[in-house]
């Protein structure tokens, strides 16, 4: 698979190649997924929307964070939605829907938490996407973005095909511009081994923010 073909699959996985990419992402993104989920603060009965969950391989850990959680996975790829339903369709408080963030088939203000991991790179332009995320949240609801920083990702060949990268403060400022408050950042050091057996050091970022409470 060429870097350009991989970039297409990362944006919207489809077919056998898409399934392989999704499996790889579930495996290699485990540290940033775990850190992003841990940054959420769900209470019993909360509704969590995840944007771009793929096959949602780490969903059981998220659902164990509080009692009676409701989960909706919104993915651009119908193939990923089908596979996620096959894996998790037996869970009655879990559903997966195919759709674009900007025209999501979800009610505005219906989510207590919205989480998006390793998908912010595809939101171009960024501000409309952040505005769409904010619309999904109830007043006071929490947003969590998980990603790897610019230095970790910009040198990868696949990222030369239309991906956006961030170093942290720039994304925090964009969130404030979109109307979010209480914007915070956590740095997640990572190590991985490449195909040459070399240790690679990466920096993960977990950025949380809140939709403002309604002013009386």
Contact 1, 9 (CB under 8 A): yes
Peptide bond preceding 175: is omega within 30 degrees of 0, i.e. cis? no
Identify the weakest region by mean pLDDT among 47-56, 69-78, 156-165: 156-165
As a whole number of angstroms, the longest Cα–Cα distance in the chain is: 59
Q: What is the pLDDT of residue 17?
A: 65
Of 49-63, 79-93, 194-208, minimum mean pLDDT range:
194-208
State the average pLDDT over residues 104-122: 96
State the pLDDT at residue 12: 58
By C-alpha distance, which of 13, 132, 129, 34 is closest to 81? 13
- Mean pLDDT, residues 145-161: 82
Segment 60-86 shows an average pLDDT of: 95
pLDDT above 70: residue 85: yes
In this predicted structure, the answer to whether residue 108 has a pLDDT above a threshold of 70 is: yes
> What does the block give as tokens for 98?
């195919």
Lowest mean pLDDT among 54-68, 107-121, 182-196: 182-196
Angle between helices 78-88 and 15-28 (to 10 degrees): 60
Whole-number pLDDT of residue 163: 84
Question: pLDDT class for 44, splitting at 50, 70, 90?
Answer: very high
Return the minimum-mean-pLDDT range out of 13-17, 70-74, 102-106, 140-144. Answer: 13-17
CATH code of 3-210, in short, is: 3.40.50.150
The SS3 of residue 186 is strand
Rounded distance between C-alpha atoms, residue 210 and residue 133, angstroms? 11
Average model confidence (pLDDT) for the chain?
Answer: 88
């Amino acid at each position: 698979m060429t870097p350009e073909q991989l970039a297409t699959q990362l944006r919207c996985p489809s077919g056998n190649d898409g399934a392989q990419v999704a499996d790889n992402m579930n495996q290699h993104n485990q540290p940033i997924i775990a850190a992003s989920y841990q940054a959420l603060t769900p209470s019993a009965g909360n509704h969590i929307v995840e944007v771009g969950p793929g096959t949602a391989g780490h969903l059981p850990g998220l659902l164990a964070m509080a009692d009676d959680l409701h989960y909706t996975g919104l993915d651009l790829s119908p193939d990923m939605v089908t596979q996620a339903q096959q894996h998790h369709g037996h869970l009655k408080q879990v559903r997966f829907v195919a759709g674009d963030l900007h025209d999501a088939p979800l009610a505005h203000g219906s989510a207590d938490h919205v989480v998006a991991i390793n998908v912010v790179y595809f939101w171009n332009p960024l501000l409309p996407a952040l505005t769409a995320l904010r619309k999904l949240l109830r007043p006071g609801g929490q947003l969590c973005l998980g990603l790897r920083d610019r230095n970790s990702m910009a040198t990868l060949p696949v990222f030369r095909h239309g991906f956006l990268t961030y170093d942290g403060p720039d994304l925090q400022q964009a969130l404030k511009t979109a109307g979010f408050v209480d914007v915070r950042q956590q740095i997640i050091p990572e190590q991985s081994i490449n195909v040459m057996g070399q240790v690679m050091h990466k920096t993960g970022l977990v950025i949380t923010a809140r939709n403002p409470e309604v002013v009386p």
